[in-house]
Each structure stands twice: as structure tokens, then as C-alpha cells.
Chain A
Amino acid sequence: MGRVFKYGDHVDTDVIIPARYLNTSDPAELARHCMEDLDTSFAGRVRPGDILVAGINFGSGSSREHAPMAIKASGIRCVIAASFARIFYRNAINTGLAILESPEAAAEIADGDDVDVDFETGLISDRTTGRTYRSTPFPPFIRRIIEADGLVGYLRSGGMAGTRVAGSEPEVTP
């Protein structure tokens, strides 16, 4: 279970980790400034296992992987959003930050709620309100990357070797 930090729509990478801190890529140092330009109290209050909930287009803006790195290093277990900006979505998968897409959960879960997530089933349970939500499941190819603990693990286990693994078995997502 984790306590929810709730934010709005279009949370961009400039507020997740401001550019003035991009002269380092040390996760611990990035975590100290995570969400600073949106919520100066975040870094001081967040505890390991907490959950970040936001609206549409979470992680928009720059390609800085420092953004998912900072969130992961701050202790956040999972980000639940109505939708994610595409580069952030890739970066989270590639670096092993858990993300779940659920417009209903994003709309209804409140700041401070206690929430549980089950990554196997994609089920989100708000213990405070008793409500449950189903998130969009990842397609099989992406699950393989996540199961390999990110893109590097996938590559080391033989992925992207030029065998056109994904292309040879097209997977159409809903």
C-alpha cells in the first residue's frame, strides 16, 4: 500500500526535474529536487512505496530520462495517470518505473488516499474509498521488456539482435 500524491494535467518534465539540476545524473541528487517546481514539499514528504497520481499527458516536454529516474529514486512505486506523454512512457518502460494508465483512477483517487496496485492484473484498489479500477494492460512485447527489467535486460537476453523479433509477430494494440 502506498499513500497518494495527486497532481493535475500536463505535469511536464520541467517541473518533475527542473533543467537547473540536469548537470548531474545521480539518482539520489535528482530525487532531492523531484517535483520541486510544482510542489516544494514533495521531496521531504515522499516515502518509499508511495504512489503518484496525475491527469492527462503526464511527463510531457523534454526527453530527459532524469524525470523517471528522479521519480523512481524518490521512492515512488508507481505512477497512475489518465495518459502519458510518449517519450516519458518509453522512458518509464525502458528504465523500469512502473506506470499504469487509467483515466477513471486518475479522476477519482484523491490526494492522501491509500492505494494498492497489482501489476499482474493491472488492478488498482483505493483502500480509502473501497473503489477498484482496471488499468490498460501492456501489450506482450512491452511486457517482455518489463519482465527483462528494462531495455538493457531485454537486449542482454537477446532482444534487438537484428532478428526482427517484434516485427515478425506483429502485435496490434487496442
Chain B
Amino acid sequence: MSSQPAGHPAAGSAPETGGAGMTMTQKILARKAGLPHVTAGQLVEVDLDLVLGNDVTTPPAIEVFRATGKTRVFDPAKVVLVPDHFTPNKDIKSAEQCRKMRLFAQEQDLSNYHEAGEPEMGVEHVILPDNGLVMPGDAIIGADSHTCTYGALGAFATGVGSTDMACGMATGRCWLKIPGAIRVRLSGAPRGFVTGKDVVLDLIGRIGVDGALYRSLEYTGPGVAALTMEERLTIANMAIEAGAKNGIFPVDDRTLAYLREVAPERLARGEGWIVEPDADASYDETLDIDLSRVPLTVAFPHLPSNTRPVDLAGAVPVDQVVIGSCTNGRMEDMRLAARILSGRRVSKSVRCIVIPGSQRVYARCLEEGLLSIFVAAGALVSAPTCGPCLGGHMGILADGERCVSTTNRNFVGRMGHTGSEVYLAGVPVAAASAVAGRIAAPEEIGIEAPADLRAEWLGTAGPERA
């Protein structure tokens, strides 16, 4: 891959020579393959800790599972099926898909299958960590490209297709090519309303949508400590938008505090494996990012890498704003949205759709009074679902319409008509844009940047189960 453009304020890069040591990802995969050592490019079969599917990818996987000749999944506690894309069922065909998945879950006695409305339910990548299903050092595949989200907890997690999912369900195993890695060394702390979303958009903007193709993005450095758990989930979530196989963070005190909240029993039993890169790990390249210099960032249509600082966005009127998804549908996101919308009105010309990422997040919004703030501001609050993120339902765009969205993809037609446009941003810009009726930073609608956003968030990194 090409190296960093010179003179950029936030990041710099250096080519790597590297040693014979292994990256975090390589160490996990070596362990799961039962090998003392692996190197980039090697093909291995690994034992899996979790196999995930959703209502789009599971129905074809069930067909393939039947074709393998197996009758039972390898471990009913380690297969997780989540109806989230077209649920609550948007039409008859989606209802049939969901029914097929539900019947399979019943047939196989899966412990991690929940219906819409149950406290454990919501968008897959929001609920798996919050339900305590992900532990550091795990190897996880999911028939959903954003499965890479779980790297935030120091696990190896990657997206696969339905056939991989089916064979994973049948055998508990998966073939993988050992990836090389880009090391992303973080320093400093984000300023003002800048969040993890801006950090990852800015990164994708500089390396491109195939900048990390076939490789891992491994985050290290003192800046990691500045990021909340939820910001790390957001950053790991979008590894795939840089083409990466996975993104991974080291485990620190904040990760352990989060795990104490969501998986106390597993932690007490000594489950999980904390991995650090070898001192002589071989990296293809190192990127240095000073978090304090990352600007509020917007990705213009039609690629997540088409980024600009919000200050250079120009006058872009918007028709719709979506706040939610597996990227930004967590509690901190809801609190940030409420902070911007509180006491203000969504512009007459904008439909603002807020989608708590899970039933637990929804309940918490209710308790904290955030739902009233959204409604009073003239925003619409949806049930937890992927919905408009993939152009499924609950906010499809017409020809020529523009949407500022906290989701992760802005491809042609992603949210509706091929003539519509999606602008990706973090929650503060999305919410401020809803008020302004055009792409705007919070400061442009008269909101002072906070002195220390992260300090306000400390201690609230977990899902705070009811």
C-alpha cells in the first residue's frame, strides 16, 4: 500500500522491517490452529469460539448446513442467530426468512437466539459484546461483514459468507489465511465533539477503502487509553471499510471493567486470553495518529474513504438524518444525540430517525429521559433494527435525497434510490445537521464543544444492564 501523504497533521507513517514475532491477530490464530507459530500468507484451520448469522445470511446457511450431512451444530451455546436486518419483519418474504431461522434455532436448541423485544435483542454487533458473548482471545466468524467489531475486546473476529457460517456451525472450524498487519499507533486524546467515528473515518480517508485489504488493523499506543469501550467498538466496526480482515485493540483496564459488567461469571472462571503483540512482531507498515488533531469528519458519497473535515463540507442541505446502527447505536451515541437535540428542534425540512441499537439501549434511553428529548425535538424513534442502514426499511431515500447518517456505508443505492446520497458522520455532526437542515458541526448551531467528553463518559462505558 502507498504510504501516508506527507505533511498531514493527524497521521504519519513509516515502513516496517519487523522481526519474526507475531502480531496480536497472528498469536490468536496460531493458538486456535494449535500451532506454535504462524506467518502472514499461511493457510490454517482454526477452532471457533462463536459462529454468528443474521436474518439475511442464515437462511442460505441453513441450506448449506443441511448439505454437509450434519444434523447438529457443533455447540448450541456457540452458534448465535440474530434477526435484525429486516425486523420487525418488513414484508412477507422477510417474515419467511426469519421464521426459517427461528425454527432452526428451536430445532438446534440454541441458547443465544432471542426475539425482537427481549432485553438481549437488537442489532447483532451491539448485542453480542453487551450480552457477554465475546471474550478477549476468542476466534469468531460471523456471516456479516461487521463482525470485525469484536476486535475492540481483543478478540479475532471477521466477516464471512453463509457457506463459511454453515461449515462453521457444522464443525466449529474455519479456514483462514494468516493476515499481515498495519499497526496504527495512537497518541493524544480526541478534542471537543470528536469521537471514535471521526477517528476511523479519518483513517479510512487516508488509507482508502482497500488500504488494509487482506490485512489486520492493529491499534496500539498510549492513545488507546483515551478511547472509551464504545469508541473502540465503533473503530473496530469499520475495519472492513478499509478492506481489512479484522481490527483489534489491546486489552486494558477499561476492557476489563467492561467485561466485569457484561460477563462477570466468565471473567471469574478465567475465560478469555489477553494477547499482546510480540516485541519483534512483523508489521507491513505503521501509521501514527495523534488523536488530538483528528477533525470532525464527514465521508461524502459514494465511498467511506471520500472524507473531508466538516469545516470544508460546504453548504449541503439534507433531507434525512439517521442516528443508530452497529457503528453508532450505543448508549454514548444516544446521550450525545440527546445533548445536541435537547431544547432544540429538528429542521422543518429534515426527517430525523433515531434508532437505539438494542432493546437494552432503548430501555436505558427511556429511563434517562432521552426518548422524551428526541420526541420533543421532533425526531422519530424507531425500534432497534438495522432498518435504513442497508436500505432495508424504516427510512428509505427517494431519488435525489440526501442523508447524514451515523452508519458505515455510503455506496450507491445503499439507503434507497441509486440517485440518493449518504454522508457518513459521527453523532454530533449528524444531530447538529438535523437541527441546521444542512451538514453542520455542533458549534454552527451554537453548541459549545465540551472541555473533556471522555471524562464525562468514564464509568459509563458498559451497557449498564437493567
Listed in ascending order, the chain A residues whose CB lies under 8 Å from chain B are: 10, 12, 14-15, 18-20, 22-25, 37-38, 56-57, 60-66, 68-69, 83, 85-87, 90-91, 94-95, 139, 141-142, 145, 150-152, 155-156, 160-162, 164-167, 170-174
Contact = CB atoms under 8 A, between A and B. Distances in A.
Contact of A164 (B33, B67, B161, B412): B33
A81 B59 CA distance: 29
A23 B210 contact: no
Given A94-B163, A171-B43, A174-B41, 18 more contacts: A14-B390, A14-B391, A15-B412, A19-B85, A24-B93, A25-B60, A25-B97, A37-B413, A60-B209, A61-B411, A63-B144, A69-B60, A90-B160, A156-B68, A160-B167, A166-B44, A166-B45, A167-B35
B267 interface: no
Interface string B142-163: 1111010000000000011111
A85 B163 contact: no
Nearest to B89: A23
Nearest to B414: A14
B161 A90 contact: yes
Contacts of A171: 42-43
B232 interface: no
B43 A37 contact: no
Given A141-B43, A173-B41, A18 B161 contact: no
B245 interface: yes
15 contacts: A20-B391, A23-B86, A25-B97, A60-B209, A60-B210, A63-B142, A86-B213, A91-B160, A152-B163, A155-B167, A156-B68, A167-B35, A170-B39, A170-B42, A173-B41
A172 B142 CA distance: 25
Contacts of A19: 56, 85, 390-392, 414
B68 A86 contact: no
A14 B59 contact: no
B97 A85 contact: no
A28 B194 CA distance: 46
B166 interface: yes
B273 interface: no
A91 B144 CA distance: 12
| Range for the number of chain B residues in contact with chain A | 35 or more
Interface string B21-62: 000000000000111001101111100000000001101100
Contact of B45 (A14, A61, A69, A160): A160
B93 A23 contact: yes
B56 A64 contact: yes
Interface of B: 33-35, 38-39, 41-45, 56-57, 59-60, 63-64, 67-69, 85-86, 90-91, 93-94, 97, 142-145, 147, 159-164, 166-167, 170-171, 173-175, 177, 209-210, 213-214, 240, 243, 245, 303, 390-392, 409, 411-414, 418
B85 A22 contact: yes
A14 B412 contact: yes
Nearest to A174: B41
Contacts, number: 168
Which 10 residue pairs of A and B lie closest in terms of their CB atoms, listed nearest first?
Answer: A91-B161, A23-B93, A94-B163, A65-B161, A57-B210, A25-B60, A65-B162, A63-B145, A37-B413, A19-B390
A66 B412 contact: no
Which of A22, A56, A150, A171 has most B Cβ within 10 Å? A22
A32 B213 CA distance: 30
A172 B34 contact: no
Contact of A14 (B161, B213, B413): B413
B170 A155 contact: yes
B243 A86 contact: yes
A85 B213 contact: yes
B409 A61 contact: yes
A65 B210 contact: no
A26 B177 CA distance: 30
Contacts of B390: 14, 19, 62
B145 A87 contact: yes
Contact of A57 (B39, B57, B209): B209
A63 B57 contact: yes
Contacts of A91: 160-164
A86 B209 CA distance: 12
Contact of A151 (B33, B41, B163): B163
B412 A37 contact: yes
Nearest to A165: B45
Contacts of B418: 37
A95 B145 contact: no
Contacts of B411: 12, 14-15, 61
